[in-house]
Structure 1
């Protein structure tokens, strides 16, 4: 059972006790990411994430790293389109120790100019690494094509130009606007007692800031197309279709449908593209849900001279599935795979900590595993067909990274 406590200032604290493990995972989740940026400060959320590890008023960056190594723990962070998370996994006896270090990083980071200059170089290398990974780059380009003129289309890492301009006050101002108590969830899962909530409350209930930034209107999906020239061995292609938001009732049938399309080795895309035609080694589809929109992505990589054939086959496979519908065997298999993946993913404290935080931060409430399983089991062929028709009988976006830098004529 997930216990929820709301601190006096609005910070939400979640705790799930798992007495049969010996670890504790804890994360500080902030409801901000690259979608809450603009063209001038794109990448600032990710930059702040990096800077919180560069030293506080009482600890250097090295001392923060050594503190977790000393107890055999793990500490890390990530930034996405809609959230930023700072998390640690430690042995149960070290939970309080880890919490205090994370809180120190969260509240007392220095944002030293010299450290910022070094970290700009580090992130600059991260951007280069990303640019050198075409199967990652093609997904970034798809976001740009699908959400033109909206921050959801911005790269999470930002750009070298925006990165160069960041100053300490820019970071503090952004945190003041977005790291507000009502926008923070502290999630804990593992062998920990309910008393730990009081420790979190003591650290996080003491600060207040004015109301945060207004949330943006929902983005409009744009069926744009982008091609990038890159000297690669393969051509990489993505198609994007307008999906649904996290709270949309259609999301469960859509997930079932998508899994049958490109979620596993028995999926339509894998069988048709890889097994039948040998066009690609990597071929899959997935749905990304945001608070107010979504994107269903279909990806494949192939030889440069085969990208047109691959793209055509991907679209044909999608249309065939829409015209024929799923067989009962496909429907039941897809449901079983999704339930299995969900259950397997909950066998670690970190997965549970993350799941609970996302439910609270994005949905605003807990969604139990049993509830999810019941909803998956209840999905009907008619719901899946309705979702497929709504998603795929509309214009799509497309991105390509290839040696020619051109979109295939058939696309």
Structure 2
């Protein structure tokens, strides 16, 4: 059972006891992502994620790495458009040490100027690496088409121009605005040792915001249809097509996931079978859903040789038109529901998955459904809800991004 304890300062501790395992996963979730950055701050959320690993008042970056390696643990972090998470997975009896190190990073990072300069170059290389991979870059430039005047359309990694301006003062100012008690959730799952929850509350339950916190306001940005073509000397052309969709709290969310699986979410999907298996037009073809607190997107990606690009796009269009005009079959829906239930339950085999699910649910929904409740919601997906989403999503004008040879 998932339980939540709210500290005096507003920090929420969400915990789930899993007694039959020998590991524990703990994550510090912060309601701060790239969409809440100002234009001149683009990339600073991700940069801060890097910098929290670069040394505290009592630990060097090397010592942080060595302490986790010494106990056979894993430590990492990620930044999304809406959230940042710092997490670790260790043996159950090392949970106290893991949360102590994460808290030290969270509260006592020094942001030494020499480390900022060194990590600035590391992140710049990460940006270059992303741009060098057209199958990644095409999705990035697609968001720029969809939301050209909003932070959602800007890259999480930032740009070289903004990265060059980051300094200790900017980092501390951003954290003072966003790394506040009401924006923090500590998620822990696994074999909880005695005293661990009290330790977490001791570490996180008393810090205060340095000034009035900035609420992460939803902007409900308008979706823009359009097309961008980026000429690159590549062997293949990469195309990404996106339609405006629903937000993560929409009642049809599970239906959306099922529809995605039917269209291009797995190997038995319409796109995979018709594009790759029947016609051999592409090696890589798939679709996915992106859902945020206020908006969402349904995206299709494929890559093919320059000579095959027109045929690939034509077949994608034909597949979507067939779904718009004829809908999906009962068999496809039942298969999608069973696949969803299987992937959901199997995806919860490890403590890290539970920690991620609980942290996300607390930040976004403020509630926690049991496994049986989720399975019931999946079972309740109907042809009517699928048809409703087809009408709402696939009949809209899409945004398109293409990267490939001239």
TM-score range, shorter chain: over 0.9
Any idea what the Cα deviations from partners look like across 1:309-333, whole Å, max 9, x if unmatched?
2112112101101211111110100
Matched residue of 1:29: which SS?
strand
Does residue 50 of structure 2 align to residue 50 of structure 1? Answer: yes
Correspondences of 1:239-388 after superposition (within 5 Å): 239-388=241-390
Total equivalences in the alignment: 404
CA-atom RMSD in angstroms: 1.0
Could you tell me whether the CA contact under 8 Å between 1:254 and 1:388 is conserved in 2?
no
- The Cα of 1:164 is off from its aligned counterpart by 0.5
Correspondences of 1:125-136 after superposition (within 5 Å): 125-136=125-136
1:89 is matched with 89
- The Cα of 1:216 is off from its aligned counterpart by 3.8
Correspondences of 1:67-146 after superposition (within 5 Å): 67-146=67-146
Matched residue of 1:226: which SS?
strand
Distance 1:377 1:216 in 2: 31
Any idea what the Cα deviations from partners look like across 1:189-218, whole Å, max 9, x if unmatched?
111147422111110011111332241421
Long gaps (5+) in structure 2: none
Structure 1 residue runs of 4 or more that deviate by more than 6 Å after TM superposition: none
Could you tell me whether the CA contact under 8 Å between 1:318 and 1:392 is conserved in 2?
yes
Distance 2:194 2:188 in 1: 10
Could you tell me whether the CA contact under 8 Å between 2:185 and 2:359 is conserved in 1?
yes
- The Cα of 1:367 is off from its aligned counterpart by 2.3
Matched residue of 1:279: which SS?
coil
Q: TM-score under structure 1 normalisation? A: 0.97
1:409 is matched with none
Any idea what the Cα deviations from partners look like across 1:201-241, whole Å, max 9, x if unmatched?
11001111133224142111111211111111111101101
With 250-259 and 5-14 compared, the bigger mean Cα shift is at 250-259
Matched residue of 2:41: which SS?
coil
Distance 1:308 1:258 in 2: 23
Any idea what the Cα deviations from partners look like across 1:117-164, whole Å, max 9, x if unmatched?
000000011011101111010110111111120101110000111001
Long gaps (5+) in structure 1: 405-411
Could you tell me whether the CA contact under 8 Å between 2:24 and 2:188 is conserved in 1?
yes
- The Cα of 1:369 is off from its aligned counterpart by 1.8
Matched residue of 1:40: which SS?
helix
Distance 2:124 2:84 in 1: 20
Correspondences of 1:153-302 after superposition (within 5 Å): 153-193=153-193, 195-209=195-209, 210-214=211-215, 215-302=217-304
Summarize the Cα distance change of 1:257–1:152 in structure 2 as closer, same or farther, 3 Å threshold: same
- The Cα of 1:71 is off from its aligned counterpart by 0.5
Could you tell me whether the CA contact under 8 Å between 1:15 and 1:194 is conserved in 2?
no
Distance 1:300 1:182 in 2: 41
Any idea what the Cα deviations from partners look like across 1:269-313, whole Å, max 9, x if unmatched?
011100111111111111111011101111101112221221121
Matched residue of 2:250: which SS?
coil
Could you tell me whether the CA contact under 8 Å between 1:11 and 1:204 is conserved in 2?
yes
